[in-house]
């Protein structure tokens, strides 16, 4: 039973993250920029310095969001096939 709950939580997090990244990437970008302005040490440790402030970051977020929704949809489809 706990495995089902874990899978449900993973599915909900992936779906919510996918929707946010696909439909509201500016919100995610703004939150990340605010977080890095409050914690400058963490921003200096990232490998992609300054990339999160570019418009290409929004494009990457949309691609990642679409991928997350596709994976969530495929997972849900496979569960329904298994239950049938």
CB atoms within 10 A of CB 72: 20
Residues spanned by the domain of 38: 18-42+50-83
User: Is residue 1 predicted with pLDDT exceeding 70?
Assistant: no
Residue 4 lies in a domain: no
Residue 30 lies in a domain: yes
pTM: 0.79
How many domains does the chain fold into? 1
CA distance linking residue 20 with residue 10, whole number of Å: 15
Residue 70 lies in a domain: yes
pLDDT band at 57 (very low <50, low <70, confident <90, very high): very high
pLDDT band at 22 (very low <50, low <70, confident <90, very high): very high
The helix-helix angle for 25-38 and 55-83 (nearest 10°) equals 120
Query: How far is the CA of 10 from the CAs of 15, 16, 34, 39, 78, in angstroms?
Result: 8, 10, 26, 28, 15
**pLDDT at residue number 28:** 92
Percent of the chain with pLDDT over 90: 38
């Amino acid at each position: 039973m706990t495995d089902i709950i874990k899978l449900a939580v993973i599915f909900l997090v992936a779906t919510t993250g996918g929707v946010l990244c696909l439909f509201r990437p500016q919100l995610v970008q703004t939150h990340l920029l605010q977080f890095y302005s409050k914690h400058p040490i963490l921003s200096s440790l990232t490998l992609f310095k300054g990339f999160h402030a570019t418009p290409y970051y929004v494009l990457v977020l949309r691609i990642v969001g679409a991928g997350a929704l596709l994976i969530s949809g495929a997972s849900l489809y496979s569960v329904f096939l298994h239950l049938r």
